[in-house]
A and B are shown apart, each in its own frame.
Chain A
Amino acid sequence: MTIKPEYREGCLRLSFQGELDHHSAEKALREAEGIIDRYLPKNCILDLSGLSFMDSSGIAVILRIHRRMAETGGRLLVDRPADQARRVLDAAGLNRIVPIREIKETVQ
């Protein structure tokens, strides 16, 4: 699991790549929170298109990042989750808490 950050004009994009499970979750969260604390962005976009696997441990990571953003008055968007991750997000009903932008909304 790796995280690629990109910051531009108040917007931080975190691209998650690899497998986000219990084994990788703690390090991923620590890293993501560190980057957020450095930039204090208005908006944070979690790009999940590069995730080859995610389970409920990933849900907890997203919720923690969501809370971190809310604490600093920012907002979080989950962007283009890969198919398997999308099914996990759906089963957990995450869209009731964090907005999710689908692949088909962004692909031309």
Chain B
Amino acid sequence: MKYENYIKVEFPSKSANEGFARSAAGVFASQLDPTMEELGDIKTAVSEAVTNAIVHAYPDTIGKVSMRCRILEGNRLEIVIRDWGRGIEDVERARKPLFTTGGEERSGMGFTIMESFMDRLQVRSHPGEGTTVTMVRVLPKKSRER
């Protein structure tokens, strides 16, 4: 696919990196001149996907998480968050609102939030191999004041 720019970062699944990942995605997205609301949506969706990798993919270990952000043709921002952890048995069920395997600390709303804040959400996962979450958000060109 044709892209105009990209970044790729990799970090261990430590919660201190959640803030770093969403901020980095936000700074990268700034090239597309997003509104405050768009920027908030993007950072939130990234935070959800990265937190899932940290909490669910590697429940008892520290593993590798990667994030790639790309600017595609047509003012589209694509973000791919990947882990090599436990994987998801039934993706369709995992994406349903309120579904969680995380007990009281989780609300089961992560995928629902990603879905409502981004234009596209794709989740690919294989148990024992890991999970790849791909999200796309179109950031329409802002019309200058007429």
Closest chain A residue to B51 by CB distance?
A22
Q: B109 contacts which of A56, A64, A84 (Cβ < 8 Å)?
A: A56
A60 within 8 A of B: yes
Nearest-neighbour CB distance to chain B for A9, whole angstroms, equals 31
* A55 contact from B47, B104, B105, Cβ within 8 A: B47
15 other A-B residue contacts (CB within 8 Å) besides A64-B104, A87-B117: A21-B18, A22-B51, A22-B55, A23-B15, A23-B16, A23-B18, A23-B19, A53-B22, A55-B47, A56-B48, A56-B109, A60-B105, A83-B37, A84-B40, A88-B113
Contact in complex: A91, B55 (CB < 8 Å): no
Which secondary structure dominates chain B's binding surface? helix
A57 touches B41 (CB 8 A): no
Chain A interface (Cβ within 8 Å of chain B)?
19, 21-23, 25-26, 53, 55-57, 59-60, 63-64, 83-84, 87-88, 91-92
Identity of the chain B residue whose Cβ is nearest the Cβ of A84 in the assembled complex: B40
CB proximity of A51 to chain B, nearest CB, Å: 11
Residues of A close to B112: CB separation below 8 A = 91-92
Determine the distance from Cα of A22 to Cα of B47 in the docked complex, in whole angstroms: 9
Interface residues of B in 95-115 (CB under 8 A from A): 104-107, 109-110, 112-113
A67 to chain B: closest residue by CB: B104
**Are B40 and A83 in contact, with the CB atoms below 8 A?**
yes
